[in-house]
Chain A
Amino acid sequence: MIKEEKLNLIILLVLFVIPFLAYLFNEPYLTTLTTKIVILSIAGIGLNFILGYGGLVSFGHAAFFGIGGYVTGILASHAQNSEQMFFFLQFDGSNQILFIWLISIIICSFIALLIGYFSLRTSGVYFIMITLAFAQMLYYFSISWPAYGGEDGLSIYVRNVFPFFNTMNPINFYFICFTWLLIFLTILKIILNSSFGLVLKACKENEERVKSIGINPFNIKLISFVFSGAITGLAGSLYTDLNRFVSPSVLSWQMSGEIMVLVILGGVARLYGPILGAVFYIILEQTLGGVSENWQFWLGLIIILEVLYARAGIMSLFLKDSKS
Chain B
Amino acid sequence: MTISLFIEQILNGLQFGVMLFLMSAGLTLVFGVMGLINLAHGSFYMIGAFAAALFAELTGSFLIAMIASFVAALFAGALTELIIIRKIYKRDHLDQVLATFALILLFSEGIRWIFGAYPLYLDIPNSLSSSFNLPFEIIYSKYRMMIILVGIIIAIILYFLISKTLIGIRIKAGQNDREMIGALGVDVTKLYTIVFSLGAALAGLAGALIGAIQSVEVGMGEPVLILAFVVIVIGGIGSIKGAFVGALLVGITDTMGRFLLPSFFSYFFDNASATSIGSSIASMSIYILMATVLIFKPSGLYGVKK
Contacts and interface: CB of A to CB of B under 8 A. Distances in A.
Contact of A300 (B106, B279, B299, B300): B106
Interface string B277-306: 001100110011011001100111001001
Interface in B46-78: none
A308 B95 CA distance: 9
Q: Main secondary structure on chain B at its contact with chain A? A: helix
B105 A134 contact: no
A126 B276 CA distance: 31
B226 interface: yes
A133 B226 CA distance: 10
Contacts of B108: 296
A129 B102 contact: no
B143 to A, nearest CB: 29
B300 A126 contact: yes
Interface stretch (A22-30, A80-88, A90-98, A115-123): A115-123
Contact of A297 (B92, B93, B109, B306): B109
A190 interface: no
B108 to A, nearest CB: 7
Contacts of A261: 98, 101
Nearest to A144: B280
Contacts of B230: 129, 133
B299 A122 contact: yes
Interface residues of B, number: 45
A311 B95 CA distance: 8
B267 interface: no
Contact of B229 (A51, A122, A129): A129
B50 to A, nearest CB: 16
B103 A304 contact: yes
A304 B106 contact: yes
A126 B98 contact: no
A144 to B, nearest CB: 4
B98 A300 contact: no
A277 to B, nearest CB: 10
Interface of A: 51, 57, 118-119, 121-126, 128-130, 132-134, 136-137, 140-141, 143-146, 253, 257, 260-261, 264-265, 268, 294-297, 299-304, 306-308, 311
Given A137-B288, A144-B280, A311-B91, 11 more contacts: A121-B295, A125-B31, A130-B294, A133-B230, A140-B280, A144-B283, A260-B94, A261-B101, A294-B109, A302-B102, A304-B99
